[in-house]
Amino acid sequence: MDRDSEVRMLVLNSMVDDFENLDQIIFPTVRSDGRLLGWEIERGEVVTHLAELVESGFVGAFRLASEPPHEIRLDRMPELQPDVDSKDIHFYPTAAGFQLHADWNPPSELLDE
């Protein structure tokens, strides 16, 4: 798998446990996993791959709120400005995304954690 494909899978992997926010969980997790592979991964690269996953139907984008309705699925990738934490925007894999993740063979460096 090439680096772009692997980084895209790291992005997907970062959210398989729960709805996740870009700046609180997804980017820090992907950056950390990338370092285990010897890569420096920037936020913009993560946003690009996240958008690809949303646009291809592997991940859904949601606006979460404490008041009903608690989750609103967005019809497309939201605009995420550089250096702006959108705390109410979260991402979660679709059924197709979970299948893609199940078929992934992660690099051995990630299995040794």
Report residue 70's pLDDT band, with 50, 70 and 90 as the boundaries: confident
Residues 6+ apart with CB under 8 A from 104: 9, 12, 13
Find the mean pLDDT for residues 68-97: 85
Look up the domain containing 30 and give its range: 3-111
Mean model confidence pLDDT for the chain? 91
pLDDT at 83: 59
What domain count does the chain have?
Answer: 1
Instruction: State both tokens at 64.
Output: 């979460």
For the entire predicted model, the pTM comes to 0.90
pLDDT tens-digit series, residues 7-58:
999 999 999 999 999 999 999 999 999 999 999 999 999 999 999 999 999 9
pLDDT at 46: 95
For residues 7 and 35, the answer to whether their CB atoms sit within 8 Å is no
Report which of residues 85 and 96 the model is more confident about: 96
pLDDT at 71: 87
For residues 12 and 58, the answer to whether their CB atoms sit within 8 Å is yes
Here the CATH number for the domain that contains residue 22 is 1.10.10.10
| DSSP letter string, 37-86 | TT----HHHHHHHHHHHHHTTSEEEEEE-SSSS-EEE-SSPPP--TT---
Residue in 14, 69, 96 with CA at minimum distance from that of residue 47: 14
pLDDT at 84: 58
